[in-house]
Structure 1
Amino acid sequence: MKRLMALIPMLLVAGPAWAEPTPVKVHAISQDAKFIGDSMGGVEVVLRDAQTGKMLAKGLTVGGTGDTKKIMEAVGRSPMLTTPDAAHYSTTLDISVPTLVKVELRGPLGRPLTMQRATSERWLVPGISAGDGWVVELPGLAIEVDGVSAMIAGRAATVTAKVGLMCGCPITPGGLWDAADYEVTAELHRKGEKSERTSLAFSAAPGLFSSAITPGFSGKGELWIVARNIRTGNAGVARVPVRIAKP
């Protein structure tokens, strides 16, 4: 009996650690703007063990863009940005020890021309939630393209691009995302080389930029729409295949 009693502490130490349910909430926030959710098709979220690469969970962010004032007027090094309605992906991981977790973001899924990726790593402690959630910034601009279906070599064609933030937040004259801060260009590429380039002027709210471009070649090519915020450097590129007819 004495021998058995002496073994009990050793068995307790050697036994498996008990996993604890650990809540995880991930938010994807657009660079210069708000959270990315339902209005833009959400963002794909993958959680992995950073050391082994094993996938721990996968899902989409759902919800709204959040509180504009709280986000855009935030001050301090690590301000609390989220509200209960702000888009997020929530899950629960069962972990028994502090675990380094990697998150991979891809989106917004509703703007396939300009989807971006972002990754981040952080330690998760068993049973402890992370305050404001795990907020990861997704750079880029969401771009949709129109006016490229009927191009003819040597003839001017109007190209229109709709540019917005990754959260769907609108670009308007004098607005919170001021049209004057954005530069948008259209480029025609052939065989990997730029052929023509023109600046697109702001034409209508929200976020429409347009101008004419004259193709200098016929056949297959690509139209590139390049948009950037001239103050912050945040940029997006949409590439659309085009076939330019002979005159």
Structure 2
Amino acid sequence: MGAWAADAPSPGIPTTVMVRVVGNRAMALGDAVGGAAVTIKDLETGAVLASGVQTGLGGDLRSIMMTPRQQVEQIYSSKGSASFTATLNLTKPTLVEIAGEGPLKFPRAKRRASKTVLLYPGKHVNGDGIVLDINGLIVQIVSPTPDRPLGIGDGVTIRTTVNMMCDCIVEPFGNWDSRKMELYGEVRVDDKVIGRMEFFHQGPKGIFQGDYTIPKWLKGKDRLTLRVVASDAEGINVGYDEITYHLVPWEQSRDATGRDIPPIGK
């Protein structure tokens, strides 16, 4: 999308700058993840020359992830993908910091990347543009939800999803193969890990499930945190999600029919 650009002393030469924020080993951060915030800053003066949000689609999977290329060939622009474009009025060669931060829709997964680039008046930056590579994974605990109390001594089933930073699904035998990743859960009380759990793909697509029995010796505690951690094999891309739940005695965690009690406040 376009962006506002700070006025430069006249006569300035219009110079277009294309920026793409992409997930490491993945595609562009598009509208599905809220895009990415982009800032172009003059390193000499500290002035922000342009800022805005990257918008568009994540890109073409086959073109970006599966097509062999020469080093000089375009990757993200060959079939179009999310980008940010600004036109700056430059009067001299300008050293800038170009920074991208996202995905904006997932605050816990948000990361920042930047590059220092020399912009020359009238020398447009196009094609793939300046590519900023963001490391990380988007992990989301689907259930149980935060408003559901957990009973001491009860078994609990945790369901979670793992996505690349572009929102691409991680699953067994998929384009992003969960078999090559580590996924586990931590059970935490008072900032201490009291248990771990394994996760297995159960479906539907992209849903992983793990089971844990809440120890009875937690009687008297009123809070328990479930944390789910995902990592690729090299530890380059890591993400996590966690939810803290209200603990109740086992006999209070279900009604007379044996069903789970309603969420708190319902």
| TM-score (normalised: structure 2) | 0.79
Q: How far is 1:17 from its partner? A: 6.9
- Pick closer, same or farther for the CA change 1:221–1:92 going to 2, 3 Å: farther
Unpaired runs of 5+ residues, structure 2, are 1-8, 251-266
Q: How far is 1:232 from its partner? A: 6.5
Q: State whether structure 2 residue 225 is matched by structure 1 residue 222.
A: yes
- Measure the CA separation in 2 of the matches of 1:60 and 1:145: 27
Unpaired runs of 5+ residues, structure 1, are 1-15
**Percent identity between the aligned chains?**
28
> Contact between 2:99 and 2:132, CA under 8 Å: does it hold in 1?
no
- Pick closer, same or farther for the CA change 1:54–1:236 going to 2, 3 Å: same
1:204 is paired with a residue of what secondary structure? Answer: coil
Tell me the equivalent position of 2:254.
Answer: none
- Measure the CA separation in 2 of the matches of 1:175 and 1:81: 21
Residues 174-228 of structure 1, C-alpha deviations (whole Å, 9 max, x = no match): 2211221222111122332222211111112532111112334332343221011
> Contact between 1:181 and 1:231, CA under 8 Å: does it hold in 2?
no
Q: CA RMSD in A?
A: 2.1
* Mapping 1:134-213, distance limit 5 Å: 134-148=130-144, 149-213=148-212
Q: State whether structure 2 residue 75 is matched by structure 1 residue 81.
A: yes
- Pick closer, same or farther for the CA change 1:156–1:81 going to 2, 3 Å: same
Q: Which residue identity lines up with residue 21 of structure 1 in the other structure?
A: P
- Pick closer, same or farther for the CA change 1:183–1:91 going to 2, 3 Å: same
**29-38 or 148-157: bigger deviation:** 148-157
Residues 5-52 of structure 1, C-alpha deviations (whole Å, 9 max, x = no match): xxxxxxxxxxx7732111111111111111111111111112212233
- Pick closer, same or farther for the CA change 1:126–1:34 going to 2, 3 Å: same
| TM-score (normalised: structure 1) | 0.85
- Pick closer, same or farther for the CA change 1:95–1:181 going to 2, 3 Å: same
**196-205 or 31-40: bigger deviation:** 196-205
- Measure the CA separation in 1 of the matches of 2:112 and 2:131: 14
Q: State whether structure 2 residue 28 is matched by structure 1 residue 35.
A: yes
> Contact between 2:141 and 2:242, CA under 8 Å: does it hold in 1?
no
Tell me the number of residue pairs that the alignment of Structure 1 and Structure 2 aligns: 232
